[in-house]
């Protein structure tokens, strides 16, 4: 009897242990992924693990628009740059550290007028209270007047409105002003455009005579300077040039220029230095320049390197974008004009990038890449801690018939991940958070 009792106790103990393991395993999986909803939540602002998000359009919304235009052919006339009234307006929510979504409304709305070549446009904005600051965003982030986008300052309190004929700044007092000159070498935008059309008309290319007064403007980290490219000074010689606009002094200055070459600024690596690509005869090189134009080219390992992102003076890049599976992370070495590699890895798949992709976490201690892991469109994420070199592989999804669309760092231990669910048409995007500390690390 005594032996039977011991045996039973042992079995019970084993059973409890097994049950505990299963339970722990289940809970671990559940705590990795937390569903925010069947909405496509996109980040407007984020700080300290909190984010203000809005509901972006789904493919079903776009179908409704098409169906409404089918029933009422004249309706699209009312929708030019306005959200159609057949779909819901965007909603705004605060996503908290605890993964809660709280409704939030703008505390104020304001409108401004600005000029784009010959037309006067009106733009409307929301003001939100976020993380103790008043921050601004277009009233409808997806339906706005901004052909070339709206660019928030790093603290979200200001913003840039690029137009073909000049750059406008909305300051923290909600006033708009043009910060670029209307004249270059004595000529206005329209006159320079005519010159460009004349130059290209001989080869039948006058349609493509676009003058970009300021392309791809980017704030530096403290919001005091802006870098952009322009071709207003390159009409005859081809290519474009890089300019800096100092918001404090009000001065605009060209810093990089080379005939027939095109620059594309990637990021500010600190408040006074930019990282840029230079395309010359179809070949790309990378360079770092300060705001006076003192620059040097950096040598990256690999046949066709492609930079994925930076954090300060750390860069993550592919050694060959034609076979995008070999990653390198390094720190810029200004003295040797090279990168000191601190990590490299060949992954089992091909890396993919998207418009707002930021590989590094908030403090730069980790980075992540999304990669195609099979031919049927399965995507995985691999996250790497650059201190410990520990890796986290996200290759299991909480639902079937879905794939990872993209991801965004909310803080150093959590991601916002969008899943594309394609079991039914139209496919929909659902939003999830993924907690690194809850997963199988």
Partner 1 sequence: MKKIIPFIIVISLMVTFSFVAYAYTYSEVFANVPPVIMQWDKPLPTWANVTSKWNQPRPDGTNPHRGIDLSAVVGTNVYSVWSGWLTYIASNENGIDATFMIDVNNNGVKDDTAYYVNYYHLNNILSNGYYSKGQKIGTSGYPKAPHLHFGGISSGSYSGKWYRNEVNYRWTSNWNYGKDVDSFAAVTWSNNTAALTAYFKDSNDKYAPSEVRIFHRKHGTSTWTDGGTMTSGSNYLYSYNFTGKYTSGTSIDWMVRIKRNTTVYPYAWAPAKYDQPDPNPNATSYSYAYYNNTVN
Considering only 10, 66, 183, 342, the residue that binds partner 1 (CB under 8 A) is 66
Considering only 98, 103, 122, 207, the residue that binds partner 1 (CB under 8 A) is 207
List Cβ<8 Å contacts ≥24 apart for 173-179. Answer: 174/110, 174/112, 174/125, 174/127, 174/136, 175/112, 176/112, 176/113, 176/114, 178/114, 178/115, 179/226, 179/245, 179/247, 179/250, 179/252
Q: Which of residues 5-44 bind partner 1 (CB under 8 A)?
A: none
Which residues face 215 on adjacent strands? 229
CA of residue 217 relative to chain centroid, distance: 14
Does 70 help bind partner 1 (rule: CB under 8 A)?
yes
Comparison of 127 and 372: residue with beta carbon closer to partner 1: 372
Q: Which of residues 280-319 bind partner 1 (CB under 8 A)?
A: 282, 284, 304
Cα end-to-end distance, the chain, whole Å = 45
Quote the least distance from Cβ 45 to partner 1, whole Å: 20
Q: Which of residues 369-388 bind partner 1 (CB under 8 A)?
A: 372, 375-379
Q: How many CB atoms within 10 Å of residue 183?
A: 11
Considering only 208, 337, 390, 396, the residue that binds partner 1 (CB under 8 A) is 208
User: Considering only CA atoms, which of 370, 362, 350 is closest in space to residue 414?
Assistant: 362
Considering only 1, 4, 80, 387, the residue that binds partner 1 (CB under 8 A) is 80
Considering only 206, 303, 341, 342, the residue that binds partner 1 (CB under 8 A) is 206
Q: In what order do the strands lie in the sheet with 50-56?
A: 40-47, 50-56, 92-95, 101-103
Q: Mapping DSSP to helix (H, G, I), strand (E, B) and coil, where does residue 173 land?
A: coil
**Number of amino acids touching partner 1 (CB under 8 A):** 67
Four-residue CA torsion sign, 99, 360, 90, 35: negative
Does 71 help bind partner 1 (rule: CB under 8 A)?
yes
Stretch that binds partner 1, among 92-100, 246-254, 274-282, 389-397 (CB under 8 A): 274-282
User: Considering only CA atoms, which of 269, 324, 287 is closest in space to residue 302?
Assistant: 324
CA dihedral 20, 31, 343, 333 (to 10 degrees): -140
CA–CA dist 407, 417 (Å, integer): 4
Does 262 help bind partner 1 (rule: CB under 8 A)?
yes
Quote the least distance from Cβ 89 to partner 1, whole Å: 18
Stretch that binds partner 1, among 1-9, 132-140, 169-177, 422-430 (CB under 8 A): 422-430
CA–CA dist 211, 236 (Å, integer): 12
Q: Which of residues 95-134 bind partner 1 (CB under 8 A)?
A: 119
Considering only 354, 390, 395, 440, the residue that binds partner 1 (CB under 8 A) is 354
CA–CA dist 106, 131 (Å, integer): 14
Considering only 134, 221, 264, 299, the residue that binds partner 1 (CB under 8 A) is 264
Does 59 help bind partner 1 (rule: CB under 8 A)?
yes
Comparison of 62 and 177: residue with beta carbon closer to partner 1: 62
Interaction site with partner 1 (CB under 8 A): 59, 62-63, 65-66, 69-71, 73-74, 76, 80-81, 119, 147-149, 200, 203-210, 212, 215-216, 229, 231, 238-240, 260, 262-264, 277, 279, 282, 284, 304, 321-324, 350, 352-355, 372, 375-379, 401, 403, 405-406, 420, 422, 425-427
């Amino acid at each position: 009897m005594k032996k039977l009792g011991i045996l039973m106790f042992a079995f019970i103990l084993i059973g409890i242990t097994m049950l505990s393991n299963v339970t722990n395993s289940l809970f671990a999986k559940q705590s990795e992924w937390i569903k925010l909803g069947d909405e496509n939540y996109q980040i407007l602002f984020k700080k300290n693990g909190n984010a203000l998000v809005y509901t972006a359009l789904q493919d079903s919304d776009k179908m409704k628009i098409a169906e409404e235009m089918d029933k009422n052919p004249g309706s699209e006339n009312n929708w030019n740059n306005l959200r159609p009234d057949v779909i819901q307006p965007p909603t705004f929510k605060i996503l908290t550290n605890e993964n809660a979504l709280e409704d939030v409304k703008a505390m104020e709305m304001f409108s401004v007028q600005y000029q784009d070549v010959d037309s006067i446009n009106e733009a409307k904005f929301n003001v939100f209270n976020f993380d103790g600051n008043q921050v601004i965003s277009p009233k409808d982030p997806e339906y706005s007047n901004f052909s070339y986008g709206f660019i928030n300052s790093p603290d979200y309190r200001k913003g840039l409105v690029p137009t073909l004929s000049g750059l406008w700044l909305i300051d923290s007092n909600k006033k708009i002003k043009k910060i670029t000159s209307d004249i270059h070498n004595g000529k206005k935008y329209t006159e320079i455009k005519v010159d460009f059309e004349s130059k290209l008309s001989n080869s039948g290319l006058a349609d493509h005579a676009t003058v970009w007064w300021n392309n791809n403007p980017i704030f530096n980290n403290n919001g005091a300077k802006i870098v952009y490219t322009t071709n207003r000074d390159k009409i005859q010689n081809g290519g474009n040039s890089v300019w800096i606009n100092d918001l404090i002094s009000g001065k605009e200055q060209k810093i990089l220029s080379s005939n027939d070459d095109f620059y594309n600024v990637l990021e500010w690596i600190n408040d006074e230095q930019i990282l840029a690509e230079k395309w010359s005869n179809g070949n790309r090189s990378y360079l770092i320049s300060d705001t006076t134009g003192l620059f040097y080219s950096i040598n990256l390992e690999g046949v066709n390197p492609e930079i994925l992102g930076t954090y300060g003076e750390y860069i993550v890049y592919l050694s060959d974008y034609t076979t995008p599976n070999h990653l390198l992370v390094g720190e810029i070495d200004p003295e040797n004009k090279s990168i000191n590699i601190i990590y490299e890895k060949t992954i089992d798949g091909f890396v993919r990038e998207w418009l707002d992709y930021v590989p590094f976490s908030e403090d730069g201690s980790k980075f992540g890449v999304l990669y195609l892991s099979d031919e049927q469109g399965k995507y995985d994420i691999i996250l790497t801690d650059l201190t410990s070199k520990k890796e986290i592989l996200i290759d299991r999804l909480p639902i079937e018939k879905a794939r990872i669309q993209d991801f965004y760092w909310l803080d150093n231990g959590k991601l916002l991940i969008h899943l594309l669910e394609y079991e039914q048409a139209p496919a929909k995007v659902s939003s999830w958070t993924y907690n690194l500390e809850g997963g199988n690390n």
